[in-house]
Each structure stands twice: as structure tokens, then as C-alpha cells.
Structure 1
């Protein structure tokens, strides 16, 4: 049951400014949709508010006030989202939905989920960005790059955790 952190990361590690991400590449959004389709997405409330409910995926939203979030049901009657108050609850709910779980941000959620993450699926942008929300450091001692797909402005890069947690 892999837990995969997925993000667009600037050369200086920035993923956002607390309201939005600095880069929006059409090819990245298409790939994000393709890779995450059918799988649950764990995210913080600000990320959920920025992205909304995405078709074909169930959102598991980490928030201090889960009672304040409600979600519509899909056509099959299943909830489109769940609100939880801890990363452990988020992982339990998401693992009950599918064998692959994606961590979709923001910065605080990536840090909370980091000990549970097995793989990284990053869009590594070839330039720096302004912002104070950063992705955790990908230490080569702990992560093995297993695939890289180069593009002009960014690379799609996949990593696997080197050692058992």
C-alpha cells in the first residue's frame, strides 16, 4: 500500500506562498490527473479550498475542525470527501478506499505525512520561486531516484524510500 507524496517543487524547494502554488504547467496538471485518478488524495484544508473536489478522486482533508467540513455524495452514494483531525486518521481512511494513497499538500501535511511516505512523485521545476511554503528536503541518503523524465522547464522525477521506516 504505497503512500506517495506528489508535488510541484521549485529549485529552491518552494511549493507555494500559503495561498497558491507558483507554477502551473498544463502538462503537469494532465499528469497529476492521470496519476491520481481513482486514488484518494490527502490534503490540508487550505489545499482543499484551493483545489476543490476533483472528479474521480476522494479527498481526505486534514483540518483542526473536521466538524466544519461537509462533502456531497457521488452518484454511487459514496462520500466525495472526508474531514479528519490527524494524519493517522487520514491514512486510515485513505487506505480503506484504495491501495495507493497520494499526499497532495500543503507544506504542513507533507511534513506530518513524511514518516509514512514510501514514494515521491515530483515535478522538479528548473527555477526558483517566491514563497515560504517548502517541500521537505529530499535527502539522497534516504531517497533513491528511480525515474526522471526531462522537459524544458521541469523534470518529472520519482523517488523511492531507501530504507524501512
Structure 2
């Protein structure tokens, strides 16, 4: 069942790679600013490993919900829940909440998400975590901006998709 207020924000390689060794595959300063601009003032939902991979938390001006199967987890400035359903219940009255990872969380929320905010790096990367393969027939492109990162030497795009 799709939830109108559940959005996914993710940076992916063209082969759907998103991470390796609990870290991002590429460092795009503009994408970090893009992420901040989109998620600021909203709730972000993540798994515990994603939270632990952040340089520091909580991220400013965002409500943090962490899904964890470890009952004794407590993270300063974060709300910990034990299931997707509990996370969805906590944001049911919000206009938009963002799923920010990691791999298992993306996989579980993907069928429910109404919108995808993608940063697509136009090359393949070796990874140990992948985003679910996107069937573009089920999504309508809302916007697209193309860029070149001189520092890393690769092209990337911001693509926003809404479920058809």
C-alpha cells in the first residue's frame, strides 16, 4: 500500500549501488547540501546503521526516527521504534517524511513510497548495499537536473519521481 507522505531520498550509482562498508560510495558536497535543503524541517526515518554512519546526530532541524531491532537502543535526540509500522504511525499526520536508508530500510519502504528523490551518479560502483531496482514504468518524472562534478570527474543528476 502506497503512503502519500512517504518519500525516499537516496544517492545511487547507475547500477543501483548505494554503499560499501557502512559508508557512502562517493563524496558529492553539492548533494549533501541538496539532501539538507530537501529534508530540513521534516522527519527522517532510518535504520540504526545509517544513524551510526552519520558523522554526528541528530542532524539539525529534523526529527529523527530510527528503526532498530535492539530493544535497548537509545540515541540522543532520536526516537527509536521497532518496526516500519511504528515509524509510519509516528508520521501519519505529517505532509512528508523521508526514508534515508540503509539498504534494508529502503527495500522495505520502496513499495510504500509515493516519491523518490534520486541523485544518480552516471557510472557503476562496486558496493555491498544496493537500492531496489527501479521499474521506471511505475514512476513519472517530476523534475531532472544534470550536473558534472569536476572534483570526482563524473556526471550526476537529481531526478524526482512520483509513483503513477
Q: Could you tell me the TM-score, scaled by structure 1's length?
A: 0.88
Counterpart of 1:30? 33
State how far apart, in whole Å, the 2-side matches of 1:27 and 1:33 are: 10
Cα shift at 1:66: 3.8
Equivalent residue for 1:150, pick from 146, 152, 161? 146
Structure 1 stretches of at least 4 aligned residues deviating more than 2 Å after TM superposition: none
Equivalent residue for 1:40, pick from 35, 43, 48? 43
Cα shift at 1:54: 0.4
Counterpart of 2:81? 84
**Is the strand fraction higher in 1 or 2?**
2
Residue deviations 1:97-145, cap 9 Å, x none? x321000000100111122200000000011111120111110221112
Counterpart of 2:161? 159
1:13-162 correspondence runs (5 A)? 13-51=16-54, 52-71=57-76, 80-96=77-93, 98-152=94-148, 153-162=155-164
RMSD, aligned α-carbons: 1.3
State how far apart, in whole Å, the 2-side matches of 1:57 and 1:141 are: 32
Cα shift at 1:156: 0.2
Count of matched residue positions in the alignment of Structure 1 and Structure 2: 153
Residue deviations 1:74-111, cap 9 Å, x none? xxxxxx32101111111111335x32100000010011
Counterpart of 1:5? 8
Tell me if the contact between 1:60 and 1:94 (Cα under 8 Å) persists in the aligned partners.
no
Q: Which runs of 5+ in 2 are unaligned?
A: 149-154
